[in-house]
Structure 1
């Protein structure tokens, strides 16, 4: 027997419109068939390569939700 109202759906997702955004420096893949990119403050090398296709990456800016990297390993080699 199923109890009414026993299964409630809780979503942790917040609407994107509620998140503050800022222009963020990212590394974008140079391969036109790949859409790989990563935030500059999350890379571990001075010149990263794309994790999806191993192509070179270039620095560009993109409007993204604000994130803070709290990792102690932020130094780029």
Structure 2
């Protein structure tokens, strides 16, 4: 049996936009979150350290 596709599936291109984020200030932690999903206390949900603001190119939601 052969389960191949007859036509290749076209993949939509993701549009990246510059998004404001908060990233963890601790060098050993890789935590970050989008600014519009951040909590009021601005603490890292992974390690509890403070968060610094920045910009990252992310897919549009």
Q: Give the TM-score band, short-chain normalised.
A: 0.7 to 0.9
For structure 2, the residue ranges without an aligned partner over 5 or more in a row are: 3-10
Q: If the length of structure 1 is used for normalisation, what is the TM-score?
A: 0.61
The number of equivalent residue pairs is 54
TM-score of the superposed pair, with normalisation by structure 2: 0.76
Q: Distance in 2 between matches of 1:28 and 1:62?
A: 10
Residue 52 of structure 1: SS of its match in structure 2?
coil
Considering Cα pairs closer than 8 Å and 6+ residues apart, tell me whether 1 or 2 has the greater RCO. Answer: 2
Higher strand share: 2
Q: Which runs of 5+ in 1 are unaligned?
A: 6-14, 68-77
Match among 56, 65, 72 for residue 50 of structure 2: 56
